[in-house]
Amino acid sequence: MTDQAEWFRQLRVELIAAWAIAKKDMLIYYLKPNIIVSGMLFPLFMFLAFAVGRPGTPSVMIPGLIAITILFSASSIEPVSIPLERRMKTFDRLISAPVSLHAVVLGESLSGFLYSIGIAAVPFIAGIIIFNTPVINAAPLIIGVLLTSFCFATMGTLFASYPTESPGDIMSMLNVVRLPLIFISGIFIPLGQIPAIAQLLTYISPLTYGNDLIHAAYSGTTYFSPVVDIAMLLVFILIFQFAANRLYKKFNE
């Protein structure tokens, strides 16, 4: 067997393992009450708290709601599933399985990614049916939702690397990051109206680029170039994946 054939065989094994991990999480954790609250209800109530009474058309508000929903739903599965599995000692068996940490991190991220896409469909459908909000360009919406979902799913997996058996410990740390991202990413305050000093912070927020792409689907315009948005989301995904692999290796040696 050639090296190339062996590489493809190993890649297939890793992808199958990643999918098995994702499917396990989908079957066990999707309907957990804390995931429903943190992934669906919390972002909805937060959005309403800041959006009600503010001037803005549905074509402006719906993209923001989709972006917030993705942020919370994509990063909610892993901080619950992984600590609970540590408590039940099943995560140790997963780490010791004959698959790489890359497959474990990818599988855990896939579960949040798929959950997020399903939840993001709710405000999208509500925007069309209830608010009659048309999508001008479907391409940035699809790309934005897919990349943003996977980016924050990987971020959730990264935070879940912290060696604790309590989901609350990870959620507390995660919210310290998630909540500020909402206010520096152009969802409630347009990027052009954010003070110059604070604008520097918008560049280090992956939500900035995801929201910019999703907003383009409804308005037809972006603050950054779509190429920049896509490139930055890919950079954040790679950073989160790399950091997650390093931390899982460190904490499970």
Read off the pLDDT band of 191 (50, 70, 90): confident
Residues 238 and 232: their CA atoms lie apart, in Å, by: 10
Read off the pLDDT band of 150 (50, 70, 90): very high
Per the listing, tokens 């708290």 go with 49
Residues 123 and 120: their CA atoms lie apart, in Å, by: 6
Residues 52 and 71: their CA atoms lie apart, in Å, by: 20
Both tokens assigned to 131: 């608010």
Domain spans in the chain, listed from the N-terminal domain onward: 9-251
Residue 150: enclosing H or E segment and its boundaries?
helix 138-159
The better pLDDT of the pair 116, 100 is held by 116
Does residue 1 register a pLDDT over 60?
no
| Cβ contacts of 207 within 8 Å, gap of 6 or more | 67, 71, 148, 152, 181, 182, 185, 187
Read off the pLDDT band of 253 (50, 70, 90): low
Does residue 75 register a pLDDT over 80?
yes
> pLDDT tens-digit profile of 77-103?
888 888 988 888 888 777 777 778 888
| Of 65-79, 183-197, 213-227, the least confident | 183-197
pLDDT at 51: 59
| Of 25-34, 164-173, 212-221, the least confident | 25-34
